[in-house]
């Protein structure tokens, strides 16, 4: 049986942590150079789009594919320059677990997390180990909350989780605590097992675990999306109880080898594969069984060749050869690898097979053949789906064939699908009405691909994602330092709308709203803090930590962790730095939605005083909501910037009073105390009323003087006397007004 190299590498000689990436692309754990400029451009996309008008080839994210094992978990690269000292002290997580950075467990690594020894502070409970996740990579936070502390049959138990400082990385990261499987990894046991009979028993144990585990997960609306032959473990040291491995340390489907993904999800970039459905888990189980029941697995050498082979020959024929350990499970594998999800075996069919009620396997899905092939880049295509996938990799070629009518004509004449041909022709006509718009060709290309292969991912400007996975796709692209503009434009041009129109029975607008597209479109059109591409990232990825440079070295995914982190930042930051940048504003807004809209409006105000007051309001709201405890350093930081707010008051005595009271409120560390002092409605009303009275009195006095002057003959003695009186009165009035102004203004 084929056994690929271990999915993770650990350079123990240097003590360096490393997780191998697809094609060697680096997933950065800090703000990439120039990325802020990328985000600013993406924010502007609602008004204008000026990216290169000629579509670029779609990237596959797999690097040199000929050198890559398509059955192997790839993961993401993050290499720390910090060496792991043998004397590194253990860290404590949640006051419950001691974790040992100097004692790695490479046999329990995940593609996107490294394993280390861990112990309970108290000796009670099952043995555990720690999985240390890649900093900044989003975890499946929603699923983690459902799993923690719950025992799910045939699944590795998630005991606890949290954020802790990890010395080798010199920063905080997310850590998962799992029960420790005592019998090791199933794939390692199979590799070393000489008896085929024993191997078959182990494989059947996996089948039982798969049936029970997936049934339990799916009943909770949880999809595993990380089932692989190398992600199965023996819970007990007698190796009787097989459990499904962890699946929450990275986005759904992210760590899956291409072979384990269905045809359509395999076409997507790693971050854009999506949560999927039960059928996707069952397909992956079929691949795992195929790998384990063969001594060697026939797989093409590249992503494009593998997907094309699956379409042309079916997944079963592509992944199952003749070098079998046993043919007993072939019916199961054939049923699970059916490329038609509606015909794919489910839990019920598996239970029937296990219990001896054998049914005939479903017929493999066979696409319609064209009478004559269409040649793309020297390769003849007789299937619509292989042709669509081929042109998706070659936008320049595709656009020519779309615009000159070659593709719609081939569809109409050779596939006899006049409706599809008509749809493509309509799209071309629409594009011809706006030839001067730079995005026209991109939109035409993307929408034509959706028509040609409706189940495939959205392909637009070099990115490929299932519609429900656009959030994770954006997140991964950002961490790799890539461009977010294609995603922003795809949202604004409503590229996914056609996908929903074709694939769903309900209203496309309703489905787009449910998938978050309508709110994302609204956020992208608002360039103010709290919105833009940042808001989309956090709203669509609840497990994505706040990327503010002010929080470098932290891992903040929960609102209650934000102010404690800012409190630490406040102790060393330049006091002139604003405490609420675009990332913090968007992160908070993504967690509390409309509750902070007034504060965000104030933060966007060009008036410095209102802007500072808006930041204070936002952070005060967070403190009252999630952390009603003092943060004196943070209060001092904000307090050092509130001079413009004090200057909003006209009365000098009031300003003096505020200036003397601010340090007292700052020392309390309660931002609401400082806000009540500076944004006191009663005090501001009194100040405005007093100022208006002073202005009114001055105006009335001026009017009286003018009236006196206008009623007297300028040549009379009385005029002279009145003039003297008027001068005296005017002098007194002016003096009085000066005194009043001294009281109310600087």
Q: Per mean pLDDT, which range of 71-85, 339-353, 652-666 is the poorest?
A: 71-85
Of the ranges 277-281, 355-359, 732-736, the best mean pLDDT one: 277-281
Instruction: Please calculate the CA angle 101-103-105 and round it to the nearest 5 degrees.
Output: 110
Give the pLDDT confidence score for residue 80 in this predicted structure: 40
Phi/psi at 93 (5° precision): -110, 120
- Which tokens in the block code for residue 376? 């793309």
Give the pLDDT confidence score for residue 181 in this predicted structure: 97
Confidence of residue 737 (pLDDT cuts 50, 70, 90): low
- Which tokens in the block code for residue 359? 């049914």
Give the pLDDT confidence score for residue 27 in this predicted structure: 34
Residue pair 12/101 in contact by the 8 Å Cβ criterion: no
- How many angstroms separate the CA atoms of 440 and 432, rounded? 8
Q: Per mean pLDDT, which range of 87-91, 139-143, 546-550 is the poorest?
A: 87-91
Q: Which residue has the tokens 């993050």?
A: 78
Give the pLDDT confidence score for residue 4 in this predicted structure: 32
Among 439, 431, 464, 438, smallest CA distance to 450 is for 464
Phi/psi at 292 (5° precision): -75, -25
Among 478, 496, 493, smallest CA distance to 438 is for 493
- Which tokens in the block code for residue 212? 């029970």
In Å, how far are 251, 271, 675 from 472, measured between CA atoms? 7, 5, 37
- How many angstroms separate the CA atoms of 665 and 652, rounded? 20
Q: What is the mean pLDDT of residues 204-231?
A: 96
Give the pLDDT confidence score for residue 56 in this predicted structure: 37
Q: What is the mean pLDDT of residues 434-460?
A: 93
Residue pLDDT, tens place only, 677-736: 988 776 666 666 565 566 666 676 776 677 666 665 555 555 566 666 666 666 766 666
Residue pair 429/416 in contact by the 8 Å Cβ criterion: no
Residue pLDDT, tens place only, 108-139: 999 999 999 999 998 778 899 999 999 999 99
Give the pLDDT confidence score for residue 31 in this predicted structure: 34
Among 578, 516, 514, 517, smallest CA distance to 548 is for 578
Residue pLDDT, tens place only, 293-310: 998 888 777 899 999 999
CB count in 10 Å sphere of residue 187: 23
CB count in 10 Å sphere of residue 282: 25
Give the pLDDT confidence score for residue 260 in this predicted structure: 97
Question: Residue 731, SS3?
Answer: helix
């Amino acid at each position: 049986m084929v056994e690929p190299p271990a999915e993770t590498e650990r350079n123990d000689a240097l003590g360096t942590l490393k997780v191998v990436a697809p094609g060697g692309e680096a997933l950065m754990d800090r703000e990439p150079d120039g990325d802020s400029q990328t985000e600013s451009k993406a924010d502007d996309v609602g008004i204008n789009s000026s990216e290169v008008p000629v579509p670029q080839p779609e990237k596959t994210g797999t690097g040199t594919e000929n050198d890559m094992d398509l059955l192997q978990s790839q993961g993401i690269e993050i290499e720390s320059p910090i060496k792991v000292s043998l004397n590194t002290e253990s860290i404590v997580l949640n006051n419950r677990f001691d974790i040992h950075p100097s004692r790695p467990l490479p046999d329990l690594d995940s593609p996107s997390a490294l394993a280390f020894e861990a112990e309970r502070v108290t000796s009670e409970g099952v043995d555990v180990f720690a999985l240390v996740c890649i900093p900044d990579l989003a975890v499946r936070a929603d699923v983690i909350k459902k799993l923690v502390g719950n025992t799910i049959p045939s699944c590795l138990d998630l005991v606890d989780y949290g954020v802790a400082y990890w010395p080798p990385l010199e920063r905080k990261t997310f850590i998962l605590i799992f029960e420790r499987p005592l019998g090791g990894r199933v794939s390692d046991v199979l590799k070393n097992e000489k008896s085929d009979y024993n191997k078959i028993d182990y494989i059947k144990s996996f089948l039982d675990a798969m049936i029970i585990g997936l049934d339990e997960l799916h009943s909770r609306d949880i999809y595993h999306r990380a089932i692989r032959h190398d992600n199965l473990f023996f819970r007990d040291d007698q190796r009787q109880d097989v459990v499904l491995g962890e699946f929450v340390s990275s986005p759904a489907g992210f760590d899956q080898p291409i072979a384990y993904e269905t045809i359509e999800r395999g076409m997507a970039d790693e971050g854009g594969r999506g949560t999927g459905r039960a059928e996707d888990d069952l397909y992956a189980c079929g691949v795992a069984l195929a790998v384990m029941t063969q001594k060697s697995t026939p797989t093409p050498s590249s992503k494009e060749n593998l997907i094309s082979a699956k379409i042309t020959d079916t997944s079963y024929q592509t992944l199952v050869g003749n070098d079998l350990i046993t043919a007993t499970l072939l019916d199961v594998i054939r049923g699970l690898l059916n490329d038609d999800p509606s015909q794919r075996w489910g839990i019920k069919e598996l239970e029937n097979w296990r219990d001896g009620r054998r049914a005939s396997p479903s017929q493999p899905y066979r696409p319609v053949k064209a009478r004559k092939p269409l040649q793309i880049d020297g390769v003849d295509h007789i299937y619509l789906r292989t042709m669509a996938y081929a042109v998706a990799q070659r936008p320049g070629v595709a656009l020519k064939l779309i615009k000159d009518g070659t593709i719609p004509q081939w569809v109409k004449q050779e596939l006899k699908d006049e409706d599809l041909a008509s749809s493509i022709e309509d799209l071309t006509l629409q594009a011809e009405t706006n030839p001067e718009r730079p995005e026209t060709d991109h939109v035409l290309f993307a929408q034509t691909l959706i028509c040609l292969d409706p189940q495939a991912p959205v392909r637009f400007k070099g990115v490929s994602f299932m519609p429900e996975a656009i959030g994770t796709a954006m997140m991964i692209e950002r961490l790799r330092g890539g461009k977010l503009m294609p995603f922003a434009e795809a949202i604004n041009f409503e590229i996914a709308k056609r996908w929903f129109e074709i694939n769903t029975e309900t209203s496309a607008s309703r489905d787009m709203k449910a998938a978050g597209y309508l709110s994302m479109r609204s956020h992208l059109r608002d360039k103010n803090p709290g919105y833009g591409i940042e808001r989309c990232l956090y709203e669509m990825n609840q497990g994505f930590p706040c990327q503010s440079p002010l929080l470098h070295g932290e891992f903040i995914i929960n609102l209650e962790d934000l102010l404690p982190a800012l409190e630490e930042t406040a102790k060393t930051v330049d006091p002139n730095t604003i405490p609420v940048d675009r990332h913090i504003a968007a992160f908070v807004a993504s967690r509390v939605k409309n509750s902070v809209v007034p504060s965000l409006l104030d933060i966007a105000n060009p008036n410095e005083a209102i802007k500072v007051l808006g930041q204070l309001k936002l952070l005060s709201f967070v403190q009252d909501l999630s952390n009603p405890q003092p943060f004196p350093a943070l209060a001092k930081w904000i307090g050092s910037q509130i001079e413009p707010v004090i200057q909003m008051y006209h009365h000098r005595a009031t300003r003096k009073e505020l200036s003397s009271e601010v340090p007292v409120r700052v020392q309390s560390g309660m931002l609401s105390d400082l806000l009540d002092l500076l944004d006191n409605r009663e005090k501001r009303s009194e100040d405005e009323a007093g100022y208006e009275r002073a202005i009114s009195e001055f105006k009335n006095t001026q009017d009286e003087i003018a009236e006196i002057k206008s009623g007297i003959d300028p040549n009379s003695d009385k005029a002279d006397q009145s003039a003297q009186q008027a001068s005296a009165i005017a002098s007194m009035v002016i003096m009085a007004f000066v005194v009043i102004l001294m009281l109310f203004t600087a």
